[in-house]
Structure 1
């Protein structure tokens, strides 16, 4: 099995090194193509107005001066053009990618790009509590549970243009209750928090942050699964069409035709 590994935390990120060590338990044919620097929050963005540079670190390890999507595109259309991967693994991200996070996440977007290209793709992220920040974020749950999750997933044939989103809870591995397959959740947008500050020259600048989490009810989503101590496994698809609205719009415009 030929595996392409990427992320949005950068080619030297701790989570990527962990994912590589786990992937090597399944294959020796591992390729790494990841951003040179952290690209958290880059979403599914492309670099279009500046050149993208590619650096080769060894035979199968590359860094890209661009986004996670740039990295996957360069890997599939250039670096591995004659030997495409069987699977794209993205992560392991420092921080969860739950609910609407998937629309902002460079980690999930890298897996989306793989899915668009017809390659089985899996995004993996490690949640953390407020006690763990920066380089102190513990990956203990992912270290123990990633292999258990990837084993079945690497044998699972996804539907076209779908990907798998995996999130590990922010608890010690022996407290993880198991693996839960679940839907993508949705938080309350009201948790957005903007911090305004002033620089030494008197100009205002802003940090985007997140306030207290408001979760969906019912304990049927990735939000509740991770909060309850499970590894959340959610299948996502890239067809964003809302069929009920499509039917309603067809009726609305029927008289116009």
Structure 2
């Protein structure tokens, strides 16, 4: 089985090493093509206004001067000798839960694989942001990654779908198990934009990543993580709201 590993945190990210170790538990034919630099929040974007460059770092290990989507495209069209059987994206430093998946470069890299008809899984390690910075513990992902991935390998997935996996911010021995749950929803109206001034006196703005609340009305990936479980969620590329089709059609009749 040929496996392609990628991410949005960059070729030197610790989580990518964790992902490669997970992949090697299933195959010796593991390739890595990832962005040269961090691309968190890049979503499903393509680089269209400048050339994309490819750099080789070792046998079967490459970086791309572009987005996660660029990386998967380059892997499939220019790097790998034949298509992979599986694309793994991650292990992201931080959660990709609820509707945050629409911003996520990690999830979008897996979406690009799904578009190409390849089985794709995104993996993310949730962590407590306070005081962590670059010292995010990946213990839960290391211990539970293969256990979450193995049942997915022989399972047929519908076209243009992927599986999104999030690991809770707990030591491996405290993880309660794995839950298959639906995507949750955040309350973005409570998000924040933090304003400051640079040393020259000019204003700048950071989009706040803290304190975005959610209102659980059912079991979702958000609640599964809060309860100490690995959250496994199937996602699809078709964003059509089926229930509105007939009503909209009637408006234009």
TM-score by length of 2: 0.97
Structure 1 segment 24-63 matched on structure 2, within 5 A: 24-63=24-63
Deviation of 1:139 (Å): 0.7
Q: Which residue of structure 1 lines up, in the alignment, with residue 3 of structure 2?
A: 3
Contact (CA 8 Å) 2:31, 2:60: kept in 1 or not? Answer: yes
Q: Does 1:22 align with 2:22?
A: yes
Q: Which residue of structure 1 lines up, in the alignment, with residue 73 of structure 2?
A: 73
Structure 1 segment 142-221 matched on structure 2, within 5 A: 142-221=141-220
Contact (CA 8 Å) 1:169, 1:226: kept in 2 or not? Answer: yes
2:5 is paired with a residue whose SS is strand
Q: Which residue of structure 2 lines up, in the alignment, with residue 93 of structure 1?
A: 92
Deviation of 1:135 (Å): 1.8
Q: Does 1:109 align with 2:129?
A: no
CA distance in 1, matches of 2:210, 2:143: 30
Q: Which residue of structure 2 lines up, in the alignment, with residue 230 of structure 1?
A: 229
Deviations 1:14-45 (A, max 9, x none): 11101101110100000000001111111101
Deviations 1:158-196 (A, max 9, x none): 110000000000011111111000000001012321111
Deviations 1:79-133 (A, max 9, x none): 12x4110010000000010001100000000000000010000000000013452
1:32 is paired with a residue whose SS is strand
Deviation of 1:155 (Å): 1.8
Deviations 1:43-86 (A, max 9, x none): 10111111110001123110001000000000111212x41100
Structure 1 residues 198 and 213, CA gap change in structure 2 (3 angstroms) = closer
User: Aligned Cα RMSD in Å?
Assistant: 1.1
Contact (CA 8 Å) 1:169, 1:230: kept in 2 or not? Answer: yes
Q: Does 1:243 align with 2:242?
A: yes
What 5-or-longer segments of structure 1 have no aligned partner? Answer: none
1:164 is paired with a residue whose SS is strand
What 5-or-longer segments of structure 2 have no aligned partner? Answer: none
Q: Which residue of structure 2 lines up, in the alignment, with residue 135 of structure 1?
A: 134
CA distance in 2, matches of 1:154, 1:61: 23
| Runs of 4+ that moved beyond 4 A | none
Structure 1 residues 42 and 118, CA gap change in structure 2 (3 angstroms) = same
Contact (CA 8 Å) 1:6, 1:68: kept in 2 or not? Answer: yes
1:100 is paired with a residue whose SS is helix
CA distance in 1, matches of 2:156, 2:130: 38
CA distance in 2, matches of 1:110, 1:233: 17
